[in-house]
Structure 1
Amino acid sequence: MYYSVKQYLLLMGCLYLVTQIRGQDEDQLLCGRRKVQTNSMNNNGDAIAGHWPWYAAIYHRKGEKQEYACGGSILDETTILTASNCVYTPSGVISAALVTVHVGQIHPKQASAYAQMYDVREIVVHPGFSEASTINDIALIKLTASITLTTEYVQPVCLWTMDSALELIVGRNGTVVGFGPNERRDVVSGEQLQQATIGVVDPQTCIASDPAIFGTHLPVETFCGKGLQNGAGACNGDSGDGLFFEVSGQWFVRGLVARLQPVRESDGLCDPLQYTVYTDVAKYVDWIKRYVDPRVLPVENGVLTMGVEHEEKLRRLFNFDSCGLTSSVALYGQHNLTLPWLGEAMVPPNADSVRCIVTLISDRYAVGPAHCFVGGTPYISLDSVVLNDYLECYSNGNESSTCTALKQKRKIQRVIVHPNYGQNNSTDNIALIELLSPANTSHPNVLPICMPVMPELRTQTKTNLHVATAEMHGAVAKNVPVRYLEPDECTKVYAEEQIVLNLDLHKRLCAVVESWEDEEACKPLVAGAPLQEMKLFGGKEQYFLRGFELAGLACRSSAPAIYHCIEPYVDWILYNMMR
C-alpha cells in the first residue's frame, strides 16, 4: 500500500498518541510556548509579564516571613526544576514544609492577579550532589497541588530532549531569567523579574579566563557562558535560574545557574561581567524522566521534540515529496541534469573560480566543508552560491530551439561553522550555509537532496552509495557508485602508503569507486562532492545525503576517498535551521 509523506507522518503521530497515552483522551502537555505576544525587542533588563511563564520563584520560610531563595522552572503541573544548592542546608535537604513556590510572578513585592503560590510535598535532590562539588547541582521540587496552566502567564518549559552534545549550543545565545541582582548590587528579590542574554563558550575559553576559579577542566555535566551586555549576567541570587534557548518558537531549558562563579575582590560578590558555570540539564534528562508527567516527554529518544508537532516542523523545512529526485531536464536534448542539489561556492572577485561544492538541503540552506569558509584566505569573502549552471533548451519545431539560462546565484546570509572545527581539530569539518534569498526550486534543475532527519531514516546503510562526479569530457554532473570500506580495511590501504589514517568511526567513512571502468569515465569534483544513498521512500527512488568528500579525490579506485558523515551532525543542523 502506498502512503504519501503527509499520511505517513500523521499515521506515525496517531500511533504515538495511542501507545503513549495508553487509552486516555489527553493530549501531550504543550510546553515552551510563549502565549503573550509583544513587539518588544528587549533582551536584557526588566522582563515582560507572560514572556517567561515557566519561571518559578522559590521561597524559604523563616519564622513568620518568607524569603526569596532562588529560581526554578515549571516542568509540569507538579514539578519544578532548580539547583540542589537552593534546597540544601548544612544539615542536609531543607524540610519541604519550609519551602513555597510562587509562579506567574514578575513583581515579588506586588500582588498580581496571575500569581499562584504552592506548598511543597517532596524535594528530590540528585543523589550525586555534594556541597563539596560543583557537579550534580540539580533538584526537583514536587508540589502538593497541581499548578493551574490555563493562563498564558503560567506555562511549562520544554526539557532539552535534543542531542545533548555541547557543540549544539557553543556560540549560541540563550536567556537567563531571575530575580538576582545586576552589577549595581541591587538587593535580591528586586522590583521586577530580570532577563539577560548569555553567550555560551567552549570550556577552554572559560578556563583560560580565570584558571584560579575554573581549574584545569570543567565537568562534562556543566558548561560556561557570559552575559553579552555589560552588567547583565547571572550572579548572586540567580542560583537555580534557568538558561533558556528558543528553537523554532519553542523554548527549552538547557542550563541551571550553578554555584561556581568568579567574585570581585572589592565586595566579595560574584562578578556578572565574568563567565558563569551552568549545570547542563540535557545530561540529566534520564534522571528527570523518572519524576515528571510522561505527557511532557517526547517519543523515546530521538531528534529534537518528537511527535506530531516536530514532524510538522520538519515538513516546513524539508519537502519529502520532491527532495532527492533526479532531474529529467535534458541539456541540449542529450544529457539529463541528474544532480539538481549541487552548488558551487564561488571565490570573488573571479566568479569562475570554484572553491568547493556545497549540497542544497532546503530552499534556504546548504552544507559543505568548513575549510572552504574559514581562515585567512581569499575565500572567506565568498558571497555567493551558484546552483546548477546550465541552460534549459526547448524545441520550437522546425529544428529551432529556445534556451533559457537557469543559473541561480544567491548571496549568503551567514555561514555557521561547526564550533569544534579549528586549526587543532579537523574532525568537525562542516558548515551550514544560509542563503540570503531562497533558491527557486520550481525549476527542475534546482532541487534539494533529502536529509535523514527522522529516526527511521538514520539507518547508516552501507549499500546503494553514490558520489557526485563529472563526465570525463564534459561539465555535466553524474553519479558514480562507490563501495563502503570497513575502517580496518581503509586504514590498512593507507598504511601501505605510509599514511596514518585517524578515522573517527562515527564522523568519517571510507568508500571507493566500484570498478576500474567507473574510474576511467569519472572526473572528480572539488572538495564537498556529496555522498548519496538511494532509498525507496514513499514509493519513489530518492537520494539522501550521507556525507561529502573532503579532498576532491572521489574518483580513485586504488585508494578509498574519505567522506565526512552527515548523520552525527543532523541535530546540529536542525537546531541552527529551526532558530
Structure 2
Amino acid sequence: MLSFLLISFAMLWEVNSMALKGPALTRYDPCGLGLLHFDRISENNWRGVLHFGLYANLVEAVIEMEFKEETIISAHQTPYNITAKRTSQKDLIIHVMAPIPNTYTFFVTLKHFNANESDVPVVNQLMMNKVALCNEQIKAAQTITSLNVSEKYAGRHAHICGRRSIDHEELVSVRTEAKPGDWPWHVAIFVRDANNVLKYECGGNIVSSTAIVTAGHCVYKNGFKIGANRLVIVAGSSSHKDINHVGRQVLNAQEVILHPAFNINFSTADLAVIRVNTLRFTEYVQPICVWGPVYDKTKLFGSEATVVGFGSTEFNKQSDVLRSTYIMVQNDTTCVSFSPKVYGYLLNEFTFCAGYGPTSSINPRNGDSGGGLVVPAMQYDHKISWFLRGVLSKCGVSAGHKDCDPRYYVVYTDVGPHYSWIYHHAGLEFRSNVVTTH
C-alpha cells in the first residue's frame, strides 16, 4: 500500500488541473429552474428529474410542460399517486398527490432527430399549479441587465449573485472544456516572479465587484504574505493565456487580506481576500453568492457539488483551458477511515473532504487550489442560484510523487463559518441573494 501524506497546493508550482476520466456530462435546466432538469444519457436520450422535495408542505402538484419539438416520453414505473398523460406529442402533464416524493424521473427523446441537429429537449413552457415558471417571456427577461438591481439600493451598486446569462444558465457541460460565461465567477490568479514574469498560481472566486476569495496559501510564500503589487487577476476567460479572449478582464491586486487565523499546516482558515479595482459585471464576469451565515456541513454529506479549475488534462497535457467536474462531498468518517493520521488532523467543524475515493480518477489537482466548491440552491423565484461553499485547500500525494493524486480525497475550507469575515473584507452588505458593495 502506498504511503500517503497531505501537502498544500501552493507548495507546488506545476499546474496539473482536473482529472476528468470519462465522457462529458451535459445538463439542461429550463429557465435555470430548481424544479426540473434533464441529464443527457446518450445522444437523443435524456433523463428528466422533477425535484418536488424542494417545496416544503407541498400536498399536490400539477406540472404542465410544452416541448419545442415532438417528443417520446417513457418512465420505468409510475407510482400510484402520480399520473402522467399527454394531450399532444409536444405536451406532458404530470399530476402528483400526497405523499409527495422527493423526485420523479422520466425519460425523453426527440421524435424527429437528425444527427446535425441539437438533441436538447427544449421546454417552451412549464407551469406548476397554473403558475408559469418558464416560458419565452421569462427567458427573454433573464438578461445580464436584469441582474443589476442598483436602483433598489440607494448609494450602492447591487447585483444579483450566483446567476448567469440564460445562454449559460440553461445548458452547461462538465468533464469538458468550459465555454466563456459558463462559470463567470472563477478567476485565474498570477504571481510576478523575481524576473517580473507572470506565472499562474491558483484559482479564485468573484464575490463582489472589488473582491476575490481564494485560499490563504495561494498568497503566502516562504513564511510571508505576497505583496499586492505581485498579483494579477484574469477574469471572464475560459482560456487564461488567450489575451484576445472574449470577455477577458485583467486587474492588478490593490490589497491582500489574509485570514487572521491562517496556518499553512491546516485548512481551518485557509482563506484570503484579494481586493481589486473594479470588475465590470458582464455575461462573462459575475459574482457568486457566499454560503452562510447559517451552516451545517453534515447536510452536505453524500451530495454532489461542482468544482472548476485551469491546468493540464487527465492525460498530463498542458492546457490553459477552464474545466469543471462534479465531486462528491464525503462524511468525515469516510476520509478519516481512509487515513486517520492525515484526515483526523485536518477535518473539523470548519473543513470538509470531497472526492469519489481510491477507485476514481476524477478530482482537482495542483493548480486548482483556491477555486471554489459550488452548490446550487433554489430561490424564491424557483430558479437556481450558485453558492460558494468551500475553497480548495489541501490534496493527497502518494509516496515518491509531487502531484496531487486524484484517487484520494481533497480537503476544503468551509466558507460558512467565515461568512461575516468574507462579507466585511469584500465590502458587502447582507441581502437575500444580492451582492451590495459600498
When the two structures are superposed, what TM-score results if normalisation uses the length of structure 2? 0.59
Matched to 1:83, the amino acid is A
Map Cα deviations across residues 228-255 of structure 1 (whole Å, 9 max, x no partner): 8943211111110111101121100000
CA shift at 1:215, angstroms?
Answer: 3.1
Q: Among 338, 344, 350, which residue is 1:215 paired with?
A: 344
Tell me the equivalent position of 2:353. 224
Q: Among 257, 279, 283, which residue is 2:417 paired with?
A: 283
Matched to 1:35, the amino acid is S
Change (3 A) 1:64 1:177: same
Mapped to 1, the partners of 2:157 and 2:266 lie a distance apart of 40
Task: Verify the 8 A CA contact 1:161 1:298 in the aligned structure 2.
Answer: no
CA shift at 1:184, angstroms?
Answer: 3.0
Matched to 1:90, the amino acid is N
Mapped to 2, the partners of 1:283 and 1:89 lie a distance apart of 25
Matched to 2:255, the amino acid is E
Give matches, 1:185-200, under 5 Å.
Answer: 185-187=316-318, 190-200=319-329
1:94 corresponds to 2:226: yes
Matched to 1:269, the amino acid is D
Matched to 1:57, the amino acid is A
Secondary structure of residue in 1 paired with 2:388: strand
1:146 corresponds to 2:278: yes
Mapped to 2, the partners of 1:258 and 1:245 lie a distance apart of 17
Mapped to 2, the partners of 1:49 and 1:73 lie a distance apart of 16
RMSD: 2.5
Tell me the equivalent position of 1:109. 241
Task: Verify the 8 A CA contact 2:205 2:214 in the aligned structure 1.
Answer: yes
Secondary structure of residue in 2 paired with 1:290: helix
Tell me the equivalent position of 1:127. 260
Matched to 1:202, the amino acid is N
Tell me the equivalent position of 2:390. 255
Q: Among 314, 318, 333, which residue is 1:204 paired with?
A: 333
Give matches, 1:103-502, under 5 Å.
Answer: 103-110=235-242, 111-143=244-276, 145-149=277-281, 151-161=282-292, 163-187=294-318, 190-215=319-344, 218-227=347-356, 230-248=360-378, 249-259=384-394, 261-265=395-399, 267-295=401-429, 297-298=430-431, 305=433
Mapped to 1, the partners of 2:236 and 2:166 lie a distance apart of 12
Which stretches of structure 1, 4 residues or longer, exceed 6 Å deviation after superposition? 20-23
Task: Verify the 8 A CA contact 1:60 1:68 in the aligned structure 2.
Answer: yes
How many residues of Structure 1 are paired with residues of Structure 2 in the alignment? 277
CA shift at 1:196, angstroms?
Answer: 1.3
Secondary structure of residue in 1 paired with 2:160: coil
Mapped to 2, the partners of 1:45 and 1:133 lie a distance apart of 31
Mapped to 1, the partners of 2:253 and 2:268 lie a distance apart of 25
Map Cα deviations across residues 21-42 of structure 1 (whole Å, 9 max, x no partner): 9971657421000215256453
Mapped to 2, the partners of 1:266 and 1:183 lie a distance apart of 19
The answer for unaligned runs of 5 or more in structure 2 is 1-149, 379-383
Tell me the equivalent position of 1:29. 159
Secondary structure of residue in 2 paired with 1:42: strand
Task: Verify the 8 A CA contact 1:182 1:232 in the aligned structure 2.
Answer: no
Task: Verify the 8 A CA contact 2:374 2:387 in the aligned structure 1.
Answer: yes
CA shift at 1:65, angstroms?
Answer: 1.8
CA shift at 1:81, angstroms?
Answer: 0.3
CA shift at 1:269, angstroms?
Answer: 1.4
Secondary structure of residue in 2 paired with 1:206: helix
Task: Verify the 8 A CA contact 2:376 2:385 in the aligned structure 1.
Answer: yes
CA shift at 1:266, angstroms?
Answer: 5.0
CA shift at 1:76, angstroms?
Answer: 0.5
Secondary structure of residue in 1 paired with 2:363: coil
Task: Verify the 8 A CA contact 2:234 2:240 in the aligned structure 1.
Answer: no
Map Cα deviations across residues 175-200 of structure 1 (whole Å, 9 max, x no partner): 1111144543344xx23101110110
Map Cα deviations across residues 469-501 of structure 1 (whole Å, 9 max, x no partner): xxxxxxxxxxxxxxxxxxxxxxxxxxxxxxxxx
Map Cα deviations across residues 413-437 of structure 1 (whole Å, 9 max, x no partner): xxxxxxxxxxxxxxxxxxxxxxxxx
Task: Verify the 8 A CA contact 2:273 2:426 in the aligned structure 1.
Answer: no
Task: Verify the 8 A CA contact 1:180 1:234 in the aligned structure 2.
Answer: no
Share of identical aligned residues, percent? 31
Map Cα deviations across residues 416-459 of structure 1 (whole Å, 9 max, x no partner): xxxxxxxxxxxxxxxxxxxxxxxxxxxxxxxxxxxxxxxxxxxx
Task: Verify the 8 A CA contact 1:36 1:50 in the aligned structure 2.
Answer: no
The answer for unaligned runs of 5 or more in structure 1 is 1-19, 300-304, 308-579
Mapped to 2, the partners of 1:22 and 1:50 lie a distance apart of 26
Change (3 A) 1:272 1:76: same
Mapped to 1, the partners of 2:345 and 2:203 lie a distance apart of 29
Matched to 1:282, the amino acid is G
Mapped to 1, the partners of 2:157 and 2:259 lie a distance apart of 30
Change (3 A) 1:270 1:146: same
Secondary structure of residue in 1 paired with 2:167: coil
Secondary structure of residue in 2 paired with 1:258: strand
CA shift at 1:167, angstroms?
Answer: 2.1
Mapped to 2, the partners of 1:147 and 1:306 lie a distance apart of 16
State the structure with bigger RCO (CA 8 A, min sep 6), 1 or 2. Answer: 2
Task: Verify the 8 A CA contact 1:206 1:275 in the aligned structure 2.
Answer: yes
